[in-house]
Amino acid sequence: MTKSNFTRRGMLKTGAIAGAGVALPTIFTASSARAYTNEPTGGTVTLGFNVPQTGPYAEEGLDELRAQELAVQHLNGEGDSGMMNTFSSKALKGNGILGKKVQFVTGDTQTKSDAARASAKSMIEKDGAVMINGGSSSGVAVAVQGLCQEAGVIFMAGLTHSNDTTGKDKKANGFRHFFNAYMSGAALAPVLAKEYGNDRRAYHLTADYTWGWTQQESIQAATEAMGWETVNNVLTPLASTDFSSYIAPVLNSGADVLVLNHYGGNMVNSLTNAVQFGLRDKMVNGKQFEIVVPLYSELMAAGAGANVQGVFGSMNWNWQLQDEGSKAFVKSFGEKYGRPPSNSAQTCYAQVMLYADACERAGTFDPCGVAAALEGFEFDGLGNGPTLYRADDHQCFKDVLVMKGKENPTNEYDTLEIVEVTPRAQVEYAPDHPMFAGGDLGKCNSGA
Amino acid sequence: MDAIILQLLNGLDKGSAYALIALGLTLIFGTLGVVNFAHGALFMIGAFCAVALQRILGTSFVTEDPTQKDFLGNPLKVQTPYLESWFGPETGSAIIDWSVPLAILLAIPVMVAIGFIMERGLIKHFYKRPHADQILVTFGLAIVLQELIRSYFGANPIQSPAPEAFKGSFDFGVMLGFDPNVIIYPYWRMVYFAFSAVIIGAVFAFLQFTTFGMVVRAGMADRETVGLLGINIDKRFTFMFGLAAAVAGVAGVMYAPINSPNYHMGMDFLVLSFVVVVVGGMGSLPGAVAAGFLLGILESFASMNVVKNLLPGIDQIIIYLVAIVILLARPRGLLGKKGVMED
């Protein structure tokens, strides 16, 4: 008869050692096999599309999703090849990315920084997304860009127009294809001076958050350089729905131009209110009173209806562009969805293609390899002519469109017309320009 | 002086919207004792009645114009409203032009029906439950209604213009002896204010001067006693829920040209309207109306540049600041009954 002399302490010790022994190979496997965050190991690679699916910019988000889904189809070689034939880089083969079939997961930013970070985090941690693409707010872009930097994945921003995204809040893992507020000002001011003269007095209403501030600063600087005077700049709460209290004093302020640094629902309402108050019918300082909306989108213009007619603004891209890349994309998108793509849809499509192309050229999904392939990359054929992804701040530089609300639209999509395609050289600036000062691009983080 | 008059007009307009929503909220709270967080959604549905009628009246047959191309290069599809082909271009487009005021005719039965269904189908099951449960269920309902509208109409704001005859603005200042263009005010906003005054007056007259209203008021004061007299007060209260829904809906219809309807506009108004109700005094109809106008005007004055320069950010907190002060000094609200919200 053998006597068993197991003790409680002995059991615990044995258990702890055995447990550590079993866990050890796993710990080593996990750290040694994963060269970077979410390295794809099977036959697929997962992209995360983080867009507003609820909230005031849900329509914008839906259009971004449509475009991203189309991009995935094109990458996987399903259906029309879209812009792939016009894209100057020929690295994409239509067999996924690096031979792996592309799949995607989506998140809802709700146009709230916290919600956007949570959905991006979930896509990275739970779904294994190797990059995050999209969004329709500068506040969200800055927040998600910071998260992706920490997590070690690439962030391709969507519709974000604040100078800060590639200015004081820039990050090595973040890239922006969309234009910014400085470029809007630089493109728009000469056209405004030509149309309305050099001796105008402008009154600004500005959405009180990062995008509004940099938009106002940019358009004020650009118009003042043309000889305009700025009468006043009034910050309006982002949650405002009725702008009558802010618009009513404009007529007696001595201003003869109202600049609405508003976007989305804010812009639709403030422009509607301004037209209701008859501002566009008035003569002030011996001149016809005018309204300017520095940043346009097709969806906003559709929401504002007839109120946008004759009003100038700027855009990143428009479906009426006649270059081969734009035509191919509009055809592909239009045949699939029965409507022309918005400019945020185009930017999100282009970014998926650019990311995939960078992976192919780098030969890896490693964020640092991809970032290196994107930095300083020059390309053409995705719309807006020759484009540069500047290495210093990860901002794309390309031609900018000056738009005007169409006077006699023929259908629901015919709301804006292209007045001028401003050459890239006119909207370029030095990386250390004061409006983009501060912050640090830092170093790429692969999450290894 | 001109700036003060302008902001006063603006305040009256904002106050009209607050007062109308708060009036409906108070009718429901005063009769059924329910805190209805879906009331903003009813206002939003009213605005979408204007959008829906606009679409119904604008329903078109489609022909192709081979001389023009659409965005894909196909022949352009031209839409001609049936009304224009039936009644001629001028009469047809005039009817479409008046879609917002005409939408009141659509909104009243639709809103009363929605109110009845809401009350009988859902809210009556929560009468004896705590207020927290009522808030949760009505808030949930608001989200469901909101998402239904979004799924059908989309998230983008939709223009619902006022009739051509009411577009543009009126030189109010000239009437008061000011120079031209000093105080101008949009025609439709003046219509909205006048319309709100009529609705508020009509609701008060209905409650004050009809037997039905008298019974409802008696029921609001002492539901059990009225019930013991053999009067079916529940039925009358259900009607009042329908009436409150109709007031919110019609307020929404008329608001549509002021700010383009969008699916979350109800939520934008809801919190402010509750503050209005609490400031006015829970359950007090005159209190809701008075507080609506008071807070609308104060909010308007707070957004004047001279005030904002002195107190930055005051335009965003003024309503809550005033609410705190009033409730500290008078917990029952401006015209609230003693015992409501105070010891």
Q: A interface mutation test: which of B67, B160, B169, B182 has the most A CBs within 10 A?
A: B169
pLDDT digit string, tens, across residues B251-270:
999 999 999 999 989 988 88
Q: List, in sequence order, the alpha helices (H) in A83-129.
A: 113-125
Query: Cα dihedral angle (A256, A262, A265, A266), rounded to 10 degrees?
Result: -70
> Looking at residue A54, what is its pLDDT?
83
Beta-carbon contacts of A116 under 8 Å, excluding residues fewer than 6 positions away, are A50, A107, A109, A110, A135, A140, A143, A144
With contacts defined as CB-CB under 8 Å, which chain B residues touch A416?
none
Q: Give the helix, strand, coil percentages of chain A, each rounded to 5.
A: 45, 20, 35
H or E stretch including A295?
strand A290-295
d(CA A307, CA A125): 45
Closest CA to B106 of B311, B320, B256: B256
Q: Is the pLDDT of residue B343 over 70?
A: no
CB contact under 8 A, B304 and A249: yes
Q: Tell me the mean pLDDT in the region A152-165.
A: 96
d(CA A398, CA B150): 35
ipTM: 0.88
Q: A interface mutation test: which of B160, B184, B263 has the most A CBs within 10 A?
A: B184
Task: Give the phi and the psi of residue A402 in degrees, each rounded to 5.
Answer: -100, 125
pLDDT digit string, tens, across residues B17-47:
999 999 999 989 888 888 899 999 999 999 9
DSSP character at residue A90: -
| Closest residue in A to B300 (Cα–Cα) | A245
| Closest residue in B to A329 (Cα–Cα) | B72
Query: Is A314 strand, coil or helix?
Result: strand
Distance from CA of A230 to the nearest CA of B (A): 15
CB contact under 8 A, A277 and B169: yes
Distance from CA of A404 to the nearest CA of B (A): 18
CB contact under 8 A, A234 and B308: yes
Q: Is the pLDDT of residue B288 over 80?
A: yes
DSSP character at residue A231: E
Region of poorest pLDDT, from A1-10, A114-123, A277-286: A1-10
Q: Is the pLDDT of residue A80 over 80?
A: no
Kindly report the number of other CB atoms within 10 A of residue B15's CB atom: 26
With contacts defined as CB-CB under 8 Å, which chain A residues touch B96?
none
Q: Is the pLDDT of residue A5 over 80?
A: no
Q: What is the per-residue burial (b if ≥16 Cβ within 10 Å, else e) of A125-140?
A: eebbbbbbbbbbbbbb
pLDDT digit string, tens, across residues A300-353:
899 899 999 999 999 999 999 999 999 999 999 999 999 999 999 999 999 999
> Looking at residue A9, what is its pLDDT?
56
d(CA A210, CA B237): 49
With contacts defined as CB-CB under 8 Å, which chain B residues touch A302?
156
- pTM metric for this prediction: 0.88
Q: Tell me the mean pLDDT in the region A347-365.
A: 97
Q: Is the pLDDT of residue B337 over 60?
A: yes
> Looking at residue B223, what is its pLDDT?
82
CB contact under 8 A, A305 and B159: yes
With contacts defined as CB-CB under 8 Å, which chain B residues touch A334?
71-72
> Looking at residue A24, what is its pLDDT?
44
pLDDT-derived band at A2 (thresholds 50, 70, 90) equals very low
> Looking at residue B342, what is its pLDDT?
52
d(CA A358, CA B293): 59
> Looking at residue A81, what is its pLDDT?
64
Evaluate whether A94 touches A81 at the Cβ level (below 8 Å). Answer: yes
Distance from CA of B45 to the nearest CA of A (A): 17
| Closest residue in A to B70 (Cα–Cα) | A411
> Looking at residue A424, what is its pLDDT?
96
Q: Is the pLDDT of residue A139 over 60?
A: yes
Q: Is the pLDDT of residue A30 over 60?
A: no
Q: List, in sequence order, the alpha helices (H) in A175-254.
A: 181-196, 210-225, 244-247
d(CA B343, CA B338): 9
> Looking at residue A118, what is its pLDDT?
97
> Looking at residue A409, what is its pLDDT?
87
CB contact under 8 A, B72 and A269: no
Q: Tell me the mean pLDDT in the region A57-73.
A: 94
With contacts defined as CB-CB under 8 Å, which chain A residues touch B184?
251, 277-278
Evaluate whether A368 touches A279 at the Cβ level (below 8 Å). Answer: no
CB contact under 8 A, A268 and B71: no
Q: Is the pLDDT of residue A205 over 80?
A: yes
Mean pLDDT of all residues belonging to chain A? 91
User: Residue B265 has which token pair?
Assistant: 């506009």
With contacts defined as CB-CB under 8 Å, which chain B residues touch A299?
156
CB contact under 8 A, B6 and A302: no
Distance from CA of A277 to the nearest CA of B (A): 5
> Looking at residue A6, what is its pLDDT?
47
Q: Is the pLDDT of residue B190 over 90?
A: yes
With contacts defined as CB-CB under 8 Å, which chain B residues touch A248?
3, 6-7, 9-10
Residue from the list A234, A282, A334 with its beta carbon closest to the beta carbon of B71: A334
